[in-house]
Structure 1
Amino acid sequence: MRSFEIQNREVFKMAKKAVVVLSGGLDSTTCMGIANHEGYELYPLTFSYGQRHDREVAQAKKVAAYFHAKKHRVVDISFFKQMGGSALTDMSINVPQDGVGNDIPITYVPARNMIFLSLASAYAEVLGAEAIFIGVSSVDYSGYPDCRPEFIDSMNQTINLATKTGVTNHRLSIQAPLMHLTKKETIELGTRLGVPYQLTTSCYNGGDKACGTCDSCRLRIKGFQEAGLVDPIPYQIDIDWNL
């Protein structure tokens, strides 16, 4: 019996840990599913950054509970709202409803992912985690500069230069498993992994029903349509899922 207990303690000590930047959205929740599938203990980190609505935080809590996360932390960094400059943090700026364009949209939040990953790396170091998962994509995204592989590569180098973990040769790795996937491919992957998309939110406007017309909703709807699946969340508009 004692040998069995010792073995169990050793397995517990060796369990690998991952911090998941969890917004409650489709992509970050897919990352939770991937990290869970890869055998990580999940430590989701959600940011209340002064965004237009608190639905993201509410849904993130539901997602964390679904995956039986070890510890879900919600961190208040609402100073983003004080700085403004984005339709997601400044209520005087309207969320675009006319489709996804080629320029960097007004929904871009300056330095958001850079700060998210900096704080996630600090939390990972405290936990002794070896990975940080973030759901950025350079394929189906709204033109944000902090969703590109160049940015993730740069942050990977930076956190290993700036942390005790990195300089003592215990490398910390930022994982962006959706980087080269379309929204369709992300949804297909998440569906295979049993990701609870019914608990997620993507709408920039919040609300019990997604608007269906903001950039984020449009990308999500297109992904489900191309995957031949019906999105399980409700929308304010009628959508043909059989395209």
Structure 2
Amino acid sequence: MEKIIVLLSGGMDSATLLWLAKKQFKEVYAISFDYGQKHKVELDFAKQLAKIAGVKEHFIAEIPHLRNIKGNALTDKNIEVPTEKYPEEAPITTVPMRNLTFLSIAAAFCDVYEIENIGIGIHSIDSPYPDCRAEFASSAEAAINASSVMVEKKKNRIKVYTPFLGKSKIDILKLGLELGVPYDKTYSCYKGTIPPCGQCATCQQRKEAFKSVGLEDPSFT
């Protein structure tokens, strides 16, 4: 395979995806997003990871309109990030259309840089988010290809690369350990504290995954 642009948040899933992409693609780009998230510190970790990975280029895209969307705990200052595990329904940390927005922006870079793949580290088993499911990825891919200037000119396709669909957080961690992902350089806390809070759903997922393989999460050491 040729080129890929990886959605890089700075967390363990996207870092693992980045290291997997390094192994499977000839040319790797990364893109991160500043959308007014409370845990904006994740971007500092994303920059470190992109540098360590030696990506071709790392883009930081600003999404101003998401800053103004109320009703979710990641961008609304009046809503606290809950200290609980993920519920069965879409959690309060759901930012409306976030992954769809991310993919559409990444697709614009694909058109300019002639990149054939967009990597996103969604994993449907561990999360109830609607935009972390297979039907979302396939629908987004269809829309991207219907909109792409590059696809129109070259008669090729852009693939939304989702190798973690159907995998658990533990599966991803085990793969990352094999790939040598520097997990001490990753950050996953939704509250944005240093050190991580250890109580929000994403912190709990991380801790449980590391514990399951007999390791301590380096975020808390």
Q: TM-score range by the shorter chain?
A: over 0.9
SS at match of 1:83: coil
Given the alignment, which residue of 155, 158, 171 partners 2:143? 158
Which residue matches 1:126? 112
- Cα distance, 1:230 vs structure 2: 2.1
Runs of 5+ unmatched residues, structure 1: 1-14, 236-243
Identity %, equivalent residues: 39
In 1, Cα distance between the equivalents of 2:138 and 2:216? 34
Which residue matches 2:61? 75
Which residue matches 1:189? 175
Given the alignment, which residue of 69, 72, 84 partners 1:98? 84
The reply on whether 1:225 has 2:207 as its aligned counterpart is no
Runs of 5+ unmatched residues, structure 2: none
Which residue matches 1:41? 27
The CA deviation string for residues 71-99 of structure 1, in whole angstroms up to 9 with x for no partner, is 11111113211122210000100111132
The CA deviation string for residues 197-234 of structure 1, in whole angstroms up to 9 with x for no partner, is 11110000112211111011111111111222221112
In 2, Cα distance between the equivalents of 1:98 and 1:46? 26
In 1, Cα distance between the equivalents of 2:197 and 2:56? 33
In 1, Cα distance between the equivalents of 2:182 and 2:165? 20
Equivalent AA in structure 1 for residue 14 of structure 2: S
CA contact (8 A) 2:39 2:189 kept: no
Which residue matches 2:132? 147
CA contact (8 A) 2:4 2:25 kept: no
SS at match of 2:30: strand
Given the alignment, which residue of 78, 84, 87 partners 2:73? 87
The CA deviation string for residues 150-174 of structure 1, in whole angstroms up to 9 with x for no partner, is 0001111111111122334211111
Which residue matches 2:44? 58
SS at match of 1:74: strand
Deviates more, 1:222-231 or 1:151-160: 222-231
Which residue matches 1:26? 12
Q: CA RMSD in A?
A: 1.3
Max Rg structure = 1
User: Which consecutive segments of 4 or more residues in structure 1 shift more than 6 A?
Assistant: none
Relative to the length of structure 1, the TM-score reads 0.87
CA contact (8 A) 1:86 1:108 kept: yes
In 2, Cα distance between the equivalents of 1:163 and 1:77? 20
Equivalent AA in structure 1 for residue 185 of structure 2: L
Which residue matches 2:188? 202
Equivalent AA in structure 1 for residue 199 of structure 2: T
Relative to the length of structure 2, the TM-score reads 0.95
CA contact (8 A) 1:139 1:181 kept: yes
Which residue matches 2:3? 17
